[in-house]
Amino acid sequence: MSHITLIRHGQANSTAKDERSYDRLSALGHEQAAWLGAHLRDTQAEHVRLYTGTLRRHVETAEAMQTGLTPIRDARLNELEYFTLASLLEEQHGIPFPSEPTGFTHHLPQVFDYWKSDRFERPPESYLAFETRVQEVLHEIAEGDGPALVVTSGGLISMAMAQAMGLGTPAMARIALAIMHTSIHRLFPIGGHWAPVLFNAVPHLDRPDRRAAQTHI
């Protein structure tokens, strides 16, 4: 098995309240991705394959990174539909979408809990389906030759980390909330199992003039 380096996309449209309007990088998101790409080139990071989801923010992040690798697009690397699930939470259970960024710390765990316990009618996909596709696509990538870069989203990364560490949904939600834009996460195969050897690293943003670019939302 080859190791996998997961990258969260750059900052997207942080004022969005639906899937479509969220799915584009902000000006800062393009900068974050370019800085990450320069860091990977400067450090001569060894990656011979590049995978992305099919969402616009994934594609734009990979393009701005300028890795020189030909990307393989796979819809199984797309994010869970958080805004759609949030709408169902409000419509079916009366729990409103947060009005302030701090509200997400309580809202996201609620979304995950209701979703996993099948308390949504007609969700875009089941929690089990999301869990299964994440496991399957990462296993397939790991079976390929050589280290791979995977540009995806925070929800998928948190699921991958939860699977690797055997965590439940409350811990998975806390992981998701912590993940920064263009952060680096690495899963390494040890003894036939995933071992998370890197989480939420942003060396390309860890300097005084870029500290404000360490964003979550």
Q: What is the pTM of this model?
A: 0.95
State how far the Cα of 149 lies from the Cα of 47, in Å rounded to an integer: 6
Q: Is the pLDDT of residue 66 over 90?
A: yes
State how far the Cα of 32 lies from the Cα of 175, in Å rounded to an integer: 21
- Bridge-partner residues for 152, per DSSP? 8
How does residue 201 score in pLDDT terms, banded at 50, 70 and 90? very high
pLDDT tens track for 81-137: 999 999 999 999 999 998 887 888 999 999 999 999 999 999 999 999 999 999 999
Q: What is the pLDDT of residue 109?
A: 95
State how far the Cα of 167 lies from the Cα of 158, in Å rounded to an integer: 10
Q: What is the pLDDT of residue 50?
A: 98
Kindly state the percentage of the chain with pLDDT values over 70. Answer: 100
Q: What is the mean pLDDT of residues 205-212?
A: 96
Q: Is the pLDDT of residue 142 over 90?
A: yes
User: Quick count: other Cβ atoms within 10 Å of Cβ 193?
Assistant: 11
Give the domain ranges of the chain.
Answer: 4-209
Q: What is the pLDDT of residue 62?
A: 98
Q: Is the pLDDT of residue 1 over 80?
A: no
Query: Domain 4-209 is in which class?
Result: alpha beta
Q: Is the pLDDT of residue 182 over 90?
A: yes
- Secondary structure, 3-state, 51-80: EECCCHHHHHHHHHHCCCCCEEECHHHCCC
Q: What is the pLDDT of residue 118?
A: 97
212 class by beta-carbon count within 10 Å (0-12 exposed, 13-18 middle, 19+ buried): exposed
Q: What is the mean pLDDT of residues 71-89?
A: 97
Closest CA to 117 of 139, 100, 93: 93
Q: Is the pLDDT of residue 10 over 80?
A: yes
What pairing do the DSSP bridges indicate for beta strands 184-190 and 4-8?
antiparallel
Contacts of 166 (CB under 8 A, 6+ apart): none
How does residue 12 score in pLDDT terms, banded at 50, 70 and 90? very high
Q: Is the pLDDT of residue 61 over 90?
A: yes
10 class by beta-carbon count within 10 Å (0-12 exposed, 13-18 middle, 19+ buried): buried
Q: What is the mean pLDDT of the chain?
A: 95
Q: What is the pLDDT of residue 15?
A: 80
How does residue 2 score in pLDDT terms, banded at 50, 70 and 90? confident
Residue predicted with more confidence, 13 or 62: 62
Closest CA to 53 of 157, 173, 145: 157
